[in-house]
Amino acid sequence: MKYINKKSNRGIVNLFSDYLLKELTKENNIDAVIEITDCGKFFIVNGLTNSNKILDMTKLKSSFLEEYKELLSEFGYTQINIIDVITYGQELVKKSEYTYDFYDSVRPIYSQSIIDYVSNDIQGLKYHSISDINGLTLELDYSEEDTQDLTTFNYSPLNITSEFPHGYSLDMGRLEFYYSEYIANHLFCHSITDKIQFKYSNIKDDDDDYMININTTSVHNNKSIISMVLDVFDFDMFKFKSAIKSYDIIEDLTKPFDKKPWLVKDRIKDLVIF
């Protein structure tokens, strides 16, 4: 997954999307997708939710500006003009399958190369995000000119939009994302690989097995790994959701490398590959 620098315009729109999402989902059984685009002079707040409670955007904007005053002022956001186009009272279509890449690192959604770069950043570059597809690529702020030591980079677009998982409620894919990382975190202990492509699915086949898929470069057969996962993990999302209910989603952006309640290896003793 792409690492998003909280100290950037991209970081701010993703932070604000989760900030609004937290307010919207204070009530139970609320589904929502909030997408924010920074157009320079305006923030366009788009979204869909089954909630009928209309957000007080003026109040929330003020509290956001106050809570993150130091960060926002660094990027000139002393005021935010908002165009609110959220659609309320809309039933959302939930997906049954997702595909994610995970890495053998302390936070499996990020490669160890990304974590090392962020942790040891001594160049002080202005960047929005870092991705790792056959090597690190930095998305630089357009004002950054110190590129002599960079091999691969690009510049951020004029309009910057928030992106998954930020702004997505738990039942709109975020919960499945966390659960998939929970499983992957176990697998790196056994599969002898540095990367796993995991397909989450809540669809069952004729044998009553979830139709997940796992691709690795492990010495173990992928089918054997899949069979082991299906034997060990119950894919009980209601129980999993209850276990992480106290987690603050804001920390996905503000504390990306800190411990997460789902990054436990409570089933490690049950993982046996035949």
Q: Which pLDDT belongs to residue 64?
A: 96
The answer to the question of residue 201 being in a domain is no
* Domain count for the chain: 1
The answer to the question of residue 25 being in a domain is yes
Q: Which pLDDT belongs to residue 122?
A: 60
Decide if pLDDT at 232 tops 70. Answer: yes
**What is the domain-level CATH number for residue 37?**
3.30.300.10
The answer to the question of residue 238 being in a domain is no
The answer to the question of residue 127 being in a domain is no
Q: Which pLDDT belongs to residue 208?
A: 95
pLDDT tens sequence across 117-127:
999 876 688 99
Q: Which pLDDT belongs to residue 27?
A: 85
Q: What would the mean pLDDT of 143-147 be, rounded to a whole number?
A: 91
Q: Which pLDDT belongs to residue 8?
A: 94
Decide if pLDDT at 78 tops 90. Answer: no
The answer to the question of residue 132 being in a domain is no
The answer to the question of residue 98 being in a domain is no
Decide if pLDDT at 189 tops 90. Answer: no
The answer to the question of residue 143 being in a domain is no
Domain hosting 66: range is 3-87
> Quick one: pLDDT band at residue 70, thresholds 50, 70, 90?
very high
Tell me the pLDDT of the chain averaged across its residues.
94
Q: How far apart are CA 44 and CA 42, in angstroms?
A: 6
The answer to the question of residue 56 being in a domain is yes
Sign, Cα dihedral of 99, 103, 108, 109: negative
Q: Which pLDDT belongs to residue 243?
A: 96
